[in-house]
Amino acid sequence: MASDQELEPIKNAKVLMVGAGGIGCELLKTLALSGFTDIHIIDMDTIEVSNLNRQFLFRQSHVGQSKAKVARDAVLRFRPQINITPYHANVKDPEFNVDFFKQFNVVLNGLDNLDARRHVNRLCLAADVPLVESGTTGFLGQVTVHIKGQTECYECQPKPAPKTYPVCTITSTPSKFVHCIVWAKDLLFAKLFGDKNQDNDLNVRSSDSANSSESAEDVFERRKDEDIEQYGQRIYDHVFGYNIEVALGNEETWKSRNRPKPIYSRDILLDKPFHQNGNLNKDSETDDASSVSAMVCLGLKNPQDIWSLVENSRVFLESLKLFFTKRAKDVGNLIFDKDDQLAVEFVTAAANIRASSFGIPMHSLFEAKGIAGNIVHAVATTNAIIAGLIVIEAIKVLRNERNKLRMTYCLEHPSRKMLLMPVEPFEPNKSCYVCSETPLSLEINTSCSKLRDFVEKIVRNKLGMNFPLIMHGSALLYEVGDDLEDDMVANYAANLEKVLAELPSPVTGGTMLTVEDLQQEFTCCINIMHREEFDEEKEPDGMVLSGWIQARTAENGERSAVTNGESTSKSSNTAVLEEENDEIEIITTEVSVIPSGAKRKLAEISVDSNSVNSLAASDLVSKKSLDHGDGNNAVVMIDDEELEGIKKKRLR
């Protein structure tokens, strides 16, 4: 039992929790039961049915209500004497500025995306408030402590890039089910139901147009004289039949691979009644677009069943038809969403038919949804363990027990009979552009790239700034803010459309730009280097940001640099475990959010499409990672020798 004196720093502490989801619910409960009396909590979300299995402060009747507010009410029921202040808001909102952060003794993150984590990290640095950061993915989890000037900040280690697949694997030579899912989701689904202006590398030429001298017709366009059934069958035959035959013509490709088999709807659905077993669900007629389901229409009930090729073909045609008849308003704007039942049905069916063609085992809708949505099912126990560890570290921070601070990793399999691995925190990375003053370098074609490209791709996406201000010497090139004069707004808008070298204060090779985020109170300098050409596949942004290298470790010398993680907006608490330079990465990935109108290159096609969030365990744990199935989950095994190595890499 702790003495009154020991409890004093806890009782007097004012803490900020960010996120009231899986970790957040556990954390709020544990804080309240540990003696904390002044807790502020920010969460921007409302409660969803899918949260109820693990976010135990919420009940069915709370669905649709603010997570932060309901969590507060639930905890006050068993700890009525404490103060909990909820904010149903985005932590990136301007009200949560440096002054707001300064009122807290410690900030505790229970977030699920890189964007928000980076933002909180910067505010904690600017306000000089310690941050306890956390993340879980299935059985894996981690808690890290970040104190300005004493330990690494959250961004000291660059986050790994999302897992990507070579374009040709996706379009021509899939060998795993995940390749078929990526094809179905990022190419076929996007082509049929998404923004027509997006880049898409599906073969759009049919046999008719290939033979004709006229310019190729896009086979994915519905013809005027075609009913929806005919259209669906034509798409089916094109993507699973004709395109495979075309691919088979390239003999070289198949010398070392199994040849795929073209599949035509007439061969699969021949003589089969349209609705199987007579169990068509006639009651499925509904006007509610969100509940439209091909499975319901076809009487397929169990999402864990693996459908036959005939069933997959039926679901493919039915879901395509339903999109064009019941969800016609959405067509043209759709982005795959794991919570969109009809989209998941279509993608499952399309991926399975393609898998069947390439001799790859088919999967159930449940499994396909998990792969397409990058879902690693959350484990409530991991969240509870991690929340407990956050509170332990928070208490050490409040008691100023600097030497006792630990970053702790929750493993899937015990190592030396231990499931939890504590590691002393690292010192700050001297080349971190966030917590040190090291300038970054940007290679860019200053005579073609516009200021807008620089702002979108570098300042917002790579550097994660929300309210940027860009200066060249004393000349202001760009600024965002509510209180700007009209002529300044017009001036900055005009600057955005100018190429760098033609700005009022020209930006060319050798220019040093200062970029500042007024809300995050974060400044960094970027050394501009002019470069004429970029490799479209390897450098799709047409610019390369560098200078942010990994810190030295005592034993290994320089760590190799990995690329920056991308910023995102909405996310889900999902994860993959990836190999990177022989080290383990625990990565929280996010559901695709493709900004409307944004064009994506095929080179960027990935399971999680465009964003990754990492809690960089990479520098701590050597690994043997056994990839299971489609690479979404991996078993971590750490042997004794490796454990010794970890111990040696401690903060000096």
Ligand X SMILES: Nc1ncnc2c1ncn2[C@@H]1O[C@H](COP(=O)(O)OP(=O)(O)OP(=O)(O)O)[C@@H](O)[C@H]1O
Query: Of 112 and 393, which has the nearer Cβ to ligand X?
Result: 112
> Does position 524 bind Zn ion by CB under 5 A?
no
The least distance separating Zn ion from the CB of residue 149, rounded to whole angstroms, comes to: 10
444 CB-near residues (< 8 Å, 6+ apart): 454, 500, 528, 529, 530, 531, 542, 543, 544
135 labelled as ligand-binding? no
Q: Are 554 and 649 a contacting pair, CB within 8 Å?
A: yes
The least distance separating ligand X from the CB of residue 88, rounded to whole angstroms, comes to: 9
- 18 bridge partner residues: 42, 109
67 labelled as ligand-binding? yes
Query: Of 92 and 146, which has the nearer Cβ to ligand X?
Result: 92
Residue 121 CA to residue 109 CA, distance in Å, equals: 9
From the CB of residue 250, how many other CB atoms can be counted at a distance below 10 Å?
A: 9
From the CB of residue 290, how many other CB atoms can be counted at a distance below 10 Å?
A: 12
435 labelled as ligand-binding? yes
Residue 579 CA to residue 614 CA, distance in Å, equals: 13
Part of the chain binding Zn ion (CB under 5 A), chosen from 130-138, 146-154, 212-220, 582-590: 146-154
547 labelled as ligand-binding? no
- From residue 202, alpha-carbon distances to 190, 235, 246 in Å are 10, 12, 13
- Interface with Zn ion (CB under 5 A), residue total 5
> Does position 42 bind ligand X by CB under 6 A?
yes
Residue 364 burial by CB count (10 A; 0-12/13-18/19+): exposed, middle or buried? Answer: middle
Answer for which of 9, 19, 138, 241 binds ligand X (CB under 6 A) is 19
> Does position 20 bind ligand X by CB under 6 A?
yes
Residue 234 CA to residue 221 CA, distance in Å, equals: 11
The least distance separating Zn ion from the CB of residue 434, rounded to whole angstroms, comes to: 5
Q: Are 296 and 281 a contacting pair, CB within 8 Å?
A: yes
Structure tokens, 256: 């070392």
Query: Of 47 and 188, which has the nearer Cβ to ligand X?
Result: 47
Residue 292 CA to residue 193 CA, distance in Å, equals: 15
Query: Of 141 and 241, which has the nearer Cβ to ligand X?
Result: 141
- Helix axis angle for 341-357 and 365-372, nearest 10°, is 100
> Does position 435 bind Zn ion by CB under 5 A?
yes
Structure tokens, 504: 């009022």
Residue 50 CA to residue 338 CA, distance in Å, equals: 12
555 CB-near residues (< 8 Å, 6+ apart): 645, 648, 649
Residue 181 CA to residue 343 CA, distance in Å, equals: 12
Part of the chain binding ligand X (CB under 6 A), chosen from 86-94, 158-166, 298-306, 427-435: 86-94
Answer for which of 13, 15, 44, 126 binds ligand X (CB under 6 A) is 44
Residue 478 CA to residue 191 CA, distance in Å, equals: 36
Query: Of 463 and 593, which has the nearer Cβ to Zn ion?
Result: 463
CA 434 from chain centre, in angstroms, equals: 21
Q: What is the DSSP string of 293-326?
A: -HHHHHT---TTSPPPHHHHHHHHHHHHHHHHHH
156 labelled as ligand-binding? yes
> Does position 40 bind ligand X by CB under 6 A?
no
Part of the chain binding ligand X (CB under 6 A), chosen from 15-23, 157-165, 598-606, 618-626: 15-23
Applying the rule CB under 6 A, the residues between 93 and 112 that interact with ligand X are 111-112
Answer for which of 187, 335, 434, 470 binds Zn ion (CB under 5 A) is 434
The least distance separating Zn ion from the CB of residue 605, rounded to whole angstroms, comes to: 31
> Does position 123 bind Zn ion by CB under 5 A?
no
19 contact choice in ligand X, Zn ion, none (CB below 5 to 8 Å, kind-dependent)? ligand X
> Does position 464 bind ligand X by CB under 6 A?
no
Part of the chain binding ligand X (CB under 6 A), chosen from 14-22, 126-134, 364-372, 513-521: 14-22
336 CB-near residues (< 8 Å, 6+ apart): 185, 186, 189, 190, 343, 347, 372, 592
Query: Of 343 and 360, which has the nearer Cβ to ligand X?
Result: 343
Applying the rule CB under 6 A, the residues between 538 and 577 that interact with ligand X are 572-573
> Does position 153 bind Zn ion by CB under 5 A?
yes
Q: Closest-CB residue for ligand X?
A: 21
> Does position 384 bind Zn ion by CB under 5 A?
no
> Does position 114 bind ligand X by CB under 6 A?
no
The least distance separating ligand X from the CB of residue 105, rounded to whole angstroms, comes to: 20
Strands 131-137 and 106-109 come out as parallel
Query: Of 121 and 632, which has the nearer Cβ to Zn ion?
Result: 121
22 labelled as ligand-binding? yes
> Does position 178 bind Zn ion by CB under 5 A?
no
- 622 bridge partner residues: 583
3-state secondary structure of 509: coil
Q: Closest-CB residue for Zn ion?
A: 432
- From residue 189, alpha-carbon distances to 303, 319, 342, 344, 355 in Å are 20, 11, 11, 10, 16
> Does position 67 bind ligand X by CB under 6 A?
yes
> Does position 590 bind ligand X by CB under 6 A?
no
> Does position 459 bind Zn ion by CB under 5 A?
no
432 contact choice in Zn ion, ligand X, none (CB below 5 to 8 Å, kind-dependent)? Zn ion
The least distance separating Zn ion from the CB of residue 613, rounded to whole angstroms, comes to: 16
Query: Of 90 and 284, which has the nearer Cβ to ligand X?
Result: 90
Residue 364 CA to residue 342 CA, distance in Å, equals: 15
> Does position 432 bind Zn ion by CB under 5 A?
yes
113 labelled as ligand-binding? yes
153 contact choice in ligand X, Zn ion, none (CB below 5 to 8 Å, kind-dependent)? Zn ion
Answer for which of 20, 126, 156, 513 binds Zn ion (CB under 5 A) is 156
Active-site hit among 25, 168, 410, 524: 168
- Interface with ligand X (CB under 6 A), residue total 22
Query: Of 410 and 435, which has the nearer Cβ to Zn ion?
Result: 435
632 contact choice in ligand X, Zn ion, none (CB below 5 to 8 Å, kind-dependent)? none
374 CB-near residues (< 8 Å, 6+ apart): 338, 572, 574, 575, 576, 589, 590, 591, 607, 608, 632
Q: Are 107 and 101 a contacting pair, CB within 8 Å?
A: yes
Q: Active-site residue 168, yes or no?
A: yes
312 labelled as ligand-binding? no
Applying the rule CB under 6 A, the residues between 373 and 412 that interact with ligand X are 378
239 contact choice in ligand X, Zn ion, none (CB below 5 to 8 Å, kind-dependent)? none
Residues 173/176/178/180 CA torsion (nearest 10 deg) = 40
Residue 595 CA to residue 335 CA, distance in Å, equals: 10
Q: Which residues bind Zn ion (CB under 5 A)?
A: 153, 156, 432, 434-435
- Pick out the residues of the known binding site for Zn(2+): 153, 156, 432, 435
- Pick out the residues of the known binding site for ATP: 19-24, 43, 51-54, 67, 112-117
Which residues are catalytic, by number? 168
Q: Which residues bind ligand X (CB under 6 A)?
A: 19-22, 24, 42-45, 50-51, 67, 90-92, 111-113, 116, 378, 572-573
